[in-house]
Amino acid sequence: MLLPSPVPLVAIPEVSGISGSPVGLRPSTDLVVRRDRSQVWVVATALVALAIKLVIALNTFGTNDVIAFYQFASSLTEHGLRWCYENLVAFNHPPLVAYSLEGILRLSHEPFLERNGISFPFLLRLPGIIADFITVLILLRVNQQTQLKIAPWALHLFALSPVSLMVSGFHGNTDPIMVLFLVLASYMVLRNKPIASGIFFALSCQIKIIPLLFFPIFFLFWYAHRGHARFFLSTTTASLLLWSGPLLNFPVTFIKNVLSYGSFWGLWGITYWLRLTGWSQFGRVTFHDFLPAQNLVANLLKLLIIVAVLVIACRRRTLAAESFFQSIAYAWIIFFVFSPGVCAQYMVWLAPFIVLLSPMLYGYLTMTSALFLFFFYNTIADAFPWYIGISQGSHNEKWLPWSIWPWTVLIIGMVVLWRNAVKKPSLQLLSFQEAGSKVN
């Protein structure tokens, strides 16, 4: 599998600004017209995807995640946030999601919506569908305003991604909203707005906790570009405001349920292959109460991911803002290759960053991820057309082999990107030296 030569992993030349054209040059009128027409077509494609997702969401129930969210919303309304953290093992969502679920539940009981068939499953998926469309618009702005040019075919594929159609239209979870906020936080890096970047980063962490992994990349970039104080204050202020209730009233339970969540063991990548060894210590599929060997491997893999992200953050901190999206992309690749657990809907997490890093890698990843998700949903929904999908342990062996394909693509992509990077003289293995600086 040959990938184009993307921006290297740790050795990207400095760029003086974020303009799409060199200083003193202006694109021709014909070029501007063609570019504007191309963007209009991408927006049209995104609108088609939006309509398809709405139709899917209106005519399906979704997966068992929708059932879980409905139960969470009912429990939150009846018993409150603290009770849910203390009594529901599966409730591992930050408080903002809890407040949103209560609001969606109340809204779904409005007589007008009930009479018109607008139910909780549709309302749960609606914010993610809208978030996908906004994400496309942001990528168009990045493509227009910077030198990070995305091939038109890749933009159309992203806008009409089958992965996004299945996750946002059918699955029923909050992942696309987290992705939107993380993309917005990164876009504000390009705009040199550390306060806005910090607020959007904090909001992404209020949807899913995983963006905290990228805090070193954000903070060290802003530190090198003299915006760290504003970024840190806006991030911590927004986070503490939204987390203040749990942190002040039941911090231990909150940290255990939300900040310590580690996804399912044995359904992805390295832990999937370990489970296939047949050793009883690796045999359980679970997201809590790991056996000692599972705990050891999971913690080692998490440590490896954290160290790798720190290396990326340290080495790329002084690069131009245009390199920032690619820094996040590299971190996502590391995460997905070495993560102890990945769920099906997570495949939307890295998409907007990979398409900016390498359109060709994005194409291969989308193709294999779409196959993986199709067979996953087709299995749990008892064949196409899907209405409701209930994932059970007995289904695992039917769809799990398909998860190997996107994982393998990411491994190959990581190796190719690394080989491109090591050709640069500034690279030292596991070095914290700034990318682009001279090696003594």
Indicate the average pLDDT of the chain.
Answer: 88
Q: What is the pLDDT of residues 52-70, one digit of tens each?
A: 999 999 999 999 999 999 9
* Residue closest to 137 by CA, chosen among 47, 251, 242: 47
**pLDDT score at 425:** 45
89-92 long-range contacts, CB within 8 A, separation 24+: 89/288, 91/257, 92/257, 92/258, 92/261
State the pLDDT at residue 11: 40
**pLDDT band of 382, cuts 50, 70, 90:** very high
269 versus 90: the higher-pLDDT residue is 269
> Which has the minimum average pLDDT: 290-304, 371-385, 394-408, 413-427?
413-427
pLDDT in tens, 243-257: 998 999 989 888 888
pLDDT at 340 over 80: yes
Q: How large is the average pLDDT for residues 305-312? A: 96
* Lowest mean per-residue pLDDT among 150-164, 243-257, 347-361, 362-376: 243-257
Q: pLDDT of 84-135, one tens digit each?
A: 999 998 898 999 999 999 999 999 999 999 999 899 999 999 999 999 999 9
- Which residue has tokens 């499953």? 121
pLDDT band at 434 (very low <50, low <70, confident <90, very high): low
The H or E element containing residue 389 is strand 388-389
Model pLDDT for residues 150-184, shown as the tens digit of each residue: 999 999 999 999 999 999 999 999 999 999 999 99
What is the reported pLDDT for 179?
98
Model pLDDT, residue 31 = 52
Estimate the crossing angle of helix 175-190 against helix 215-224, to 10 degrees: 10
In this prediction, residue 418 has a pLDDT band, given cuts at 50, 70 and 90, of confident
The predicted structure's pLDDT at residue 439: 35
CB 315 within 8 A of CB 10: yes
The pLDDT assigned to 362 comes to 97
Rounded CA separation 255/380 (Å): 32
Portion of the chain with pLDDT greater than 90, in percent? 71
